[in-house]
Chains A and B, each alone.
Chain A
């Protein structure tokens, strides 16, 4: 499952190297030989060794020395602070529980950092001996052990910035637990020396250290044991009765035959002609009637009678009644607002007022339109120069407004101020006074 830290070759290398440490080979020789294999991934190897070193009893004393030497050597070409295991080595040197010779050995290693020249000068004398010789020749009194802080200062240089990966992993501890399989009451460490002797009889709870060691080496992984986060899987979104598609039979929609094919295209030609005439002048009563009847007979004819918003003013002026009829029929047309716009903007006249008045009773006009129309009426009255024409228009507007108010087409409140001002301005005119009285009664 977890990634193995070491490949098979590396595993063999380490096992062999550790084995050879007990031989009478110099440490230097062992280490050099080990590093001659260029295929080794130094970090992985060193990290495995560091993990093994953490266990106090797994490695023999000679093996430990060789392992430390390797930890040190693999990064010796760089500054000591760059060695990822520097803190491990410093700790080992300061570990009061460790063997003195081991601490001294590590101190030696550390003090010889960055002194490649010394290697050539043969100053690395302590590495020239075998590990067991070093242990045997070690004189505890010859060594002083400096404080940890001192060593840290010496070798760490600056505070080493934590390499970023992630907290959940950075804080990992070693994921190997010693679980001695021993009978009750036995101390795991008591048999320590016994078993180091080759050829000793296996006892209950004994085991093969080499087997355990190689097993460990084979299974070590880069990842340690870290706190674990529970990440709940989100629940599935609930299925409601609408998500499942319920089926109903389709209504059949058949393809339609186009009945307009070769059909008589003269539909409404007469009306079109009449409307065209109606734009130019008043129609004779019988003509008027014909238009109205035909429009009534064919509700669609109004869309084909040739009227456009632009022509509406002419129709209104010449034939207001037809205009009313056409507009009434167009009330549902999408273009009706265009017609209204034209109507509201055309010059004020009796006929336009008549059209609007009739429309208000025939259909519901947009409030905005009526309001705007009235405002236009009032301003037209004010702007007219000819006194006679003005009187005439004012009287007309007054009657128109009274009609609108009586038929409840407009709500007086909407226009009260405007209309009142209008009445006061033209109070000399009889109809205006009448309108004013009507307003007062409604107040």
Chain B
């Protein structure tokens, strides 16, 4: 409503604008043009000046406010993106309100008849008639068009690494991209592509990529390569509103063609308007059909690809860009073989241009294929390392490679170099918006965390993961890693109240008295009691530095969070039937987002389908064969990638449940441990190692719940004839488990180079070997038997256990227990003395002296 008021108050200006028809350039339009020119030549102070002159003339015009905000942001050195975000959001809201208000005035949400100009022309009938439309549409007329403001909002979110937020702005834009003008649409698509790639959303990436290729017809626009600059773009944009057909050859010819076809069909049409002869009517139908059939190719060809004149990027640049995006997509979906082909193509296109990105992608490709040496070479060749942003990337990537080579300490050096480059980037002046997105320190910090974990430094690692959680908080894997930090810390005795596992596995024996009075008092060194009390107490207590202290309860919390995230993603995947990286989806605002999400997906669906239609209908001869295979490749990549993700999630779930069962046992919650371990065993496709762990944990939990019989049943899963225990898993399970993904990747891509795990890498696998696992089963079977009073059976199992895991203090303790129960105290003594994990402590307290 106030738009009306304000416009009436500034009536002369508006009239001036309306007077454009008379060829008189209004004052406002002139000022706007000046401002735009200043903006393009990056003279932001002058630009703001001009805009401020404009402002009183166009009171409350959202677009003026928008441009002022943008210009001021640049003038002030891009220092406060959050503030800009706020202004832009207000502008957008204001525009929508205005559009809505003016729509209401004409008794509908219609967005067409509400133009000031049409109103001023006195054709009120038109506005009246043009009522009735879907008010839900976000397409507004030029005057209230918010697409640029929305795009800018998304741009800022993107640079701030807030991909989910950027996505939430971009998706509605993309859904109704057709009415948006070319330049903005292209920017929207490119940004969306970057966002969905960053979100690891393969199918959306494919869809946008597809749309870009079709709509901005990269294949046939090489002639539009000439002037690409922003200046030209602006003039052409201004020119667009004038009715002079200034566009490309293509549209010229097509329009004349169309006119011809119109003429051709016009005669029969006009005849049909006359009264009778039916036969002619029929011929109309037929003739019209034929005519249109002929012109159909043209019209739709003209329709779908966007005219390419307005682009701010030249044809080849765009082509290269799209090619690089395609490679990124293929790398994301790990379609290494095709990626290799496409990267070559990209190198060809980039010939004579900037090929650094192509080289980097090639390095990434070799990294993904496990050709680490080659990746290093390519990295070395690629970049200009003087630039801080490039240098941080370069070092980070080298760090990744060395990590994969198992050289954790070297990788640590590179990661820390990368981080210091990042911090020097922050100090660089003048600030650019890009600077924010170039700060990848949180990502690098995550890599650091992994490296610390590999080096056995859980506290440092946890600190890294904690920082990285700012961006990765929706990733289940992050929380699993944090839980692993807690477990490792507990194992190393770094958690308050716990003792290191080395201490815990030690049997401490107090030697009391001398001579014939000598007594050996076996301490419950491996009892886990001390652990619970302390860690339970300072649950969420923060350390001095504000970091949560590592504890088993923290581990438990992390594991539950991770499971929740994983289940959410599975749930939403199964619901939408379209894979989407749900870890990046907003689950906070429940139903509403779900609805919009659904809508989005369907929107994208329809787009994809029309896409393929366009492919066939339009320039079929040029693109069809290649396009067809292209579609196939993309579809295959997506389904392949979905498979990978599914398997990965399965693996993560197994790990989560196994860890959870373990932690609950440690925290003496056998019931919860039992349910976690049971869920683990129920998982489809569970690996043999985790099945083994599941059985052992279930059995222990049952024992703790006074159900030794059931526990024994669980363990007897591995029991064959004659009370022998089979190997619970094989060596190949360990190997496969450790290097599973690279192996898969090689298979699928058919790359010949076999991945040979470096010897250092094998240290990574810190778990029981199959024989030890077997020994563990024997020992636990013995414990169960002993508890049930089946001492002889226990004795039998123990003999086996001690031959397989002679150094297990647990097995030794059980053996001593059984010996004592059987009255063989001499055997017990000798076992105690033989065990390598016993520490004899002289009794220190001399009570009778003090009393």
CB-CB under 8 A from A228, the residues of chain B are 526, 779, 783, 809-811, 813-814, 817
CB-CB under 8 A from B523, the residues of chain A are 1-2, 175, 221
From B183, B284, B782, A227 is in contact (CB under 8 Å) with B782
- Of B344-352, B436-444, B620-628, the segment with at least 4 beta carbons within 8 Å of chain A is B436-444
B272 within 8 A of A: yes
Q: Which residue of A lies closest to B744 (CB)?
A: A240
A321 touches B285 (CB 8 A): no
CB-CB under 8 A from B593, the residues of chain A are none
Number of chain B interface residues as a range? 35 or more
CB-CB under 8 A from A215, the residues of chain B are 510, 512-513, 519, 843, 845-847
Interface residues of B in 11-69 (CB under 8 A from A): 17-18, 20-21, 26, 28-29, 31-32, 35-36, 39-40, 54, 58, 61, 63-64, 66-67
Instruction: Give the dominant DSSP class at B's interface.
Output: helix
A361 touches B293 (CB 8 A): yes
A246 within 8 A of B: yes
Q: A244-B450, A260-B63 are in contact. Are A321 and B813 (CB under 8 A)?
A: no
From A180, A231, A330, A334, B662 is in contact (CB under 8 Å) with A231
A276 to B130, CA, bound (A): 8
Q: A167-B706, A180-B517 are in contact. Are A239 and B843 (CB under 8 A)?
A: no
- Of B357-365, B541-549, B571-579, B717-725, the segment with at least 4 beta carbons within 8 Å of chain A is B357-365
CB-CB under 8 A from A311, the residues of chain B are 129-130, 132
Smallest CB separation, B266 vs chain A (Å): 6
CB-CB under 8 A from A226, the residues of chain B are 813, 817
From B179, B282, B510, B846, A399 is in contact (CB under 8 Å) with B282
A229 within 8 A of B: yes
From B40, B651, B820, A225 is in contact (CB under 8 Å) with B820
B255 within 8 A of A: yes
Instruction: Output the residue of B238, B281, B491, B773 with the most chain A CB within 10 A.
Output: B281
CB-CB under 8 A from A330, the residues of chain B are 178
From A209, A218, A227, A363, B818 is in contact (CB under 8 Å) with A227
A167 touches B285 (CB 8 A): no
From B36, B61, B434, B810, A229 is in contact (CB under 8 Å) with B810
A270 to B243, CA, bound (A): 10
Smallest CB separation, B298 vs chain A (Å): 10
B613 within 8 A of A: yes
A350 to B275, CA, bound (A): 13
B581 within 8 A of A: no
Query: A222-259 interface mask toward B, CB cutoff 8 Å, 1 = contact, 0 = none?
Result: 01011111111111111111111111111111111111
Count residues on chain A whose CB falls below 8 Å from chain B CBs. 145
B516 touches A267 (CB 8 A): no
From A195, A288, A308, A329, B303 is in contact (CB under 8 Å) with A329
From A168, A264, A396, B17 is in contact (CB under 8 Å) with A264
CB-CB under 8 A from A209, the residues of chain B are 513, 517
A364 touches B706 (CB 8 A): no
Q: A168-B787, A264-B29, A361-B289 are in contact. Are A258 and B148 (CB under 8 A)?
A: yes
A246 touches B367 (CB 8 A): yes
A2 to B434, CA, bound (A): 60
A296 touches B302 (CB 8 A): yes
A210 to B511, CA, bound (A): 15
A247 touches B58 (CB 8 A): no
B487 within 8 A of A: yes
Q: A173-B817, A299-B306 are in contact. Are A321 and B265 (CB under 8 A)?
A: yes
Smallest CB separation, A190 vs chain B (Å): 9
B155 touches A255 (CB 8 A): yes
Q: Which residue of B lies closest to A365 (CB)?
A: B613
Smallest CB separation, A442 vs chain B (Å): 18
CB-CB under 8 A from B282, the residues of chain A are 395-396, 399
CB-CB under 8 A from B116, the residues of chain A are 265
A225 touches B303 (CB 8 A): no
B393 touches A273 (CB 8 A): no
B126 touches A276 (CB 8 A): yes
Interface residues of A in 315-360 (CB under 8 A from B): 320-321, 324-325, 328-335, 337-338, 350, 353-354, 357-358
Interface residues of A in 252-296 (CB under 8 A from B): 252-267, 269-270, 272-273, 276, 279, 282, 285, 288-289, 292-294, 296
A249 touches B360 (CB 8 A): yes
B810 touches A230 (CB 8 A): yes
Q: Which residue of A lies closest to B36 (CB)?
A: A257
Interface residues of B in 786-810 (CB under 8 A from A): 786-787, 794, 805, 808-810
CB-CB under 8 A from A292, the residues of chain B are 258-259, 262
A420 to B33, CA, bound (A): 66
Query: A189-213 interface mask toward B, CB cutoff 8 Å, 1 = contact, 0 = none?
Result: 0010001000000100111111111
Q: Which residue of B lies closest to A175 (CB)?
A: B522
CB-CB under 8 A from B738, the residues of chain A are 238
CB-CB under 8 A from B187, the residues of chain A are 253, 256
B847 touches A214 (CB 8 A): yes
From A11, A266, A328, B847 is in contact (CB under 8 Å) with A11
A303 within 8 A of B: yes
A227 touches B786 (CB 8 A): yes
Total A-B pairs in contact (CB under 8 Å)? 532
CB-CB under 8 A from A415, the residues of chain B are none
Q: A240-B742, A262-B58 are in contact. Are A181 and B514 (CB under 8 A)?
A: yes
A403 within 8 A of B: yes
B67 touches A225 (CB 8 A): no
A182 touches B742 (CB 8 A): no
B110 within 8 A of A: yes
A294 touches B243 (CB 8 A): yes
B80 within 8 A of A: no
A310 within 8 A of B: yes
A361 touches B292 (CB 8 A): yes
A2 touches B610 (CB 8 A): no
A282 to B817, CA, bound (A): 104
Q: A247-B393, A265-B17, A395-B278 are in contact. Are A230 and B776 (CB under 8 A)?
A: yes
B783 touches A334 (CB 8 A): no
Smallest CB separation, A243 vs chain B (Å): 6
Smallest CB separation, A83 vs chain B (Å): 24
A206 to B238, CA, bound (A): 111
B270 within 8 A of A: yes
A225 to B787, CA, bound (A): 12
A242 touches B512 (CB 8 A): no
A15 within 8 A of B: yes
A331 touches B303 (CB 8 A): yes
CB-CB under 8 A from B255, the residues of chain A are 293, 296-297
Interface residues of A in 43-85 (CB under 8 A from B): 58
CB-CB under 8 A from A234, the residues of chain B are 487, 655, 658-659, 662, 693
Q: A221-B524, A257-B39, A304-B112 are in contact. Are A267 and B518 (CB under 8 A)?
A: no
B262 touches A241 (CB 8 A): no
A296 to B307, CA, bound (A): 11
B696 touches A232 (CB 8 A): yes
A400 within 8 A of B: yes
Interface of A toward B, CB cutoff 8 Å: 1-3, 11-12, 15-16, 58, 164, 166-168, 171, 173-182, 186, 188, 191, 195, 202, 205-221, 223, 225-267, 269-270, 272-273, 276, 279, 282, 285, 288-289, 292-294, 296-300, 303-306, 308-311, 320-321, 324-325, 328-335, 337-338, 350, 353-354, 357-358, 361-364, 392, 395-396, 399-400, 403, 407
- Known A-B contacts: A230-B696, A256-B184, A264-B17. Give 4 more (CB < 8 A): A175-B524, A258-B70, A260-B63, A263-B142
Write 24 A-B pairs (CB below 8 A) sorted by A numbering: A1-B524, A166-B703, A166-B704, A167-B706, A175-B523, A177-B522, A177-B828, A186-B516, A209-B517, A214-B846, A215-B510, A225-B524, A232-B773, A241-B400, A242-B334, A251-B321, A258-B63, A259-B234, A261-B61, A263-B238, A279-B129, A297-B251, A354-B284, A400-B285
